[in-house]
Amino acid sequence: MTTTFTTSLDTTFKKEVFEGLSAFPKYLSSKYFYDKKGDKLFQDIMAMPEYYLTGCEFQILSNHTETIGELFRDREKGLDLIELGAGDGKKTKVLLKYMTKNNFNFVYKPIDISENAVELLSNNLAIEMPILNVDAEVGEYFEVLERLKGFNKRKKVIMVLGSNIGNLKHPKAIEFLSKLKEAMLSNDLLFMGFDQKKNPQTILNAYNDETGITEAFNKNVLTRINREIGGNFEVEKFKHWEVYDPETATAKSFLVATEPMQVTVEKINLTVNFEKWETIHTEISQKYDDKIVSWLAEESGLEIVTSFSDDKEYYKNYVFRKA
């Protein structure tokens, strides 16, 4: 049972927490894992041996730096390199170093939902590559897409790394890709990472580490609700649970209530009852193969130009253009 009163849902965070906790089954968006603490936890996840995604994509960008860079280059007018979900920029820096050393005329525009991540990245780049022209922005993917259409004076390359597309179910992914396509001109490129299907155990291990870092990362959404909008979640009474379905190629994360409880979120006037073992769905992470990626591209009005893989073929970066 959920008790609600009239309230002001004046931020996206309040609105989405209200909707998610009022729903059945309950859900919260994984984008709210990220704040200063969440960013640090995600960096710890990326450093875990089980979390192969970062290492695989780093290998792709390191092994194919020149090929990728020259694919991006426009010798006449230069380009805008726009990265959605830039995070700490560790992998992108491989390309940025190549591009700055080889006289590319370009502006790097990192965009991330985390203000903390954008600030840290901007400060790091100012020290590491002082000649790089950086125009950073805080924002969500779907908000930013409309503004991308304004980048129409020269070639733009849009980057989405980390298989972030995997956080969207296929219909939403098609909507996202279609909006990217609408923002693209004929010579623009989209460079995007897709985690590939593989041994289900390898995938499960990546999201279910024994050290509990992924658990803390998922629970950070409850910590944020407590701190920012007056929630009283007893975070330790929730268990992180991960499943992977090889038929749909979907990894799913849940927070499971280990006992019955009542939770109040003061600033949105919401009281929620949890049964024992009731779930909050927090994240999906979709896995792909060439067939699925080709289908997504076709449905979105894009075509695959080429792709790059790591040595184990665990992960691929695809390059798209407008069909």
Asked whether residue 54 is assigned to any structural domain, the reply reads no
pLDDT at 5 (0 to 100): 47
157 within domain boundaries: yes
Domain span at 296: 64-196+288-322
* Continuous segment of H or E residues that includes residue 320: strand 315-322
Query: Does the residue 23 lie in any domain?
Result: yes
**Are both 134 and 263 inside the same structural domain?**
no
For residues 218 and 311, membership in a common domain is answered with: no
DSSP annotation of 289: -
Do 164 and 311 sit in the same domain of this protein?
Answer: yes
pLDDT at 1: 54
Answer yes or no: do 84 and 120 share one domain: yes
Question: At which residue do the structure tokens 């020259």 appear?
Answer: 70
Q: How far apart are CA 94 and CA 89, in angstroms?
A: 9
- Which residues of the chain fall short of a pLDDT of 70? 1-7
Based on the fold, state whether residues 168 and 292 are members of the same structural domain. yes
Q: Is the peptide bond before 246 cis (omega within 30 degrees of 0)?
A: no
301 and 264 in contact (C-beta within 8 Å)?
no
What pLDDT is attached to residue 141?
A: 78
Q: Is residue 315 part of a domain?
A: yes
**268 with 241, same domain?**
yes
Are 169 and 217 in the same domain?
no
pLDDT value at position 146? 84
Judge whether 251 lies within some domain: yes
Nearest to 238 by CA among 208, 268, 278, 207: 278
Strand order in the sheet with 137-138: 137-138, 106-112, 79-84, 155-160, 189-195, 315-322, 302-309
Predicted confidence (pLDDT) per residue in 29-43, tens digit: 999 999 999 999 999
Domain identity same for 279 and 313? no
Quote the number of domains for the chain. Answer: 2
In a shared domain, residues 257 and 167: no
Tokens of 83: 């990265």
Instruction: For residue 52, tell me if it sits in a domain.
Output: no
Same domain, 172 and 296: yes
Give the number of other CB atoms < 10 A from CB of residue 223.
17
The answer to whether residue 92 sits within a structural domain is yes
Check residue 191 and give its pLDDT. 98
**pLDDT at position 8, please?**
76
Residue 109 sits in a domain whose CATH number is: 3.40.50.150
- The answer to whether residues 304 and 190 belong to one domain is yes
46 assigned to some structural domain: no
> What is the pLDDT, as a whole number, of residue 160?
97
Do residues 304 and 314 both lie within one domain? yes
